[in-house]
Amino acid sequence: METILDRLKNYFENTSEAQIKKDWEATEKYDDVDSPTVDEFLEELNKNIKMETLLWLDDIRNPFIPTYINQYKQLRNIRDINNDFNPTHKYEVQWVRNYEEMKEWIAHFGLPDYISFDHDLADEHYTPPKYWNDYQASKEYQDAQDYKEKTGLDCAKMVVEYCMNNNLELPHYFSHSANPVGRDNILHYLNNFKKSRENA
């Protein structure tokens, strides 16, 4: 049996902010108590909302394109959360394409709540197709390279250095790289730093 709370939840989940405002204003003439206007209510609500950020590091994949939103769980979850009525949190995605953009973003805004790392951020980072089906050969090939452009692993190292210099914990992190060797390198590096902090 549906309760009034169920109906209210359904109303707030499926009604636009504009319609809620219109409905609220339509009932104000019946309200003799000293209560906030709808604008005051929404302003107070927004003031108390915690904004959380996912920093998406990738040279090619646009995190705002539905193809990628549906492919990657971290993007899909944030989209789904934003579509739900959640009075305490809002989530946003910020897209950076390389080491310099990421470094500049963090210098300006500080650490985000989440980071999703790609590894290959320049043409020189991409492993030739002949190595794709052989992890060990791919690892040996990549370890032998002397990259001029910084990879996602360099970005992970920069984040760790920032945490150490500012006595901060790592944000939540993922790697969505299609390069399994690069993804493992990033996650091993971050996991090792996290464990060293926990064991300190």
Contact 124, 163 (CB under 8 A): no
pLDDT in tens, 47-73: 666 778 999 999 999 999 988 888 888
**What's the residue count for the chain?**
200
pLDDT in tens, 18-41: 887 887 777 666 555 566 666 666
For the chain, the domains span 1-48, 50-198
Contacts of 94 (CB under 8 A, 6+ apart): 53, 54, 55, 56, 105, 112
pLDDT recorded at residue 44: 62
Q: What topology does CATH give the domain 50-198?
A: Rossmann fold (3.40.50)
C-alpha Rg value of the chain to the nearest Å = 23
pLDDT in tens, 131-146: 889 999 999 999 999 9
Q: How confident is the model at residue 147 (pLDDT cuts 50, 70, 90)?
A: very high
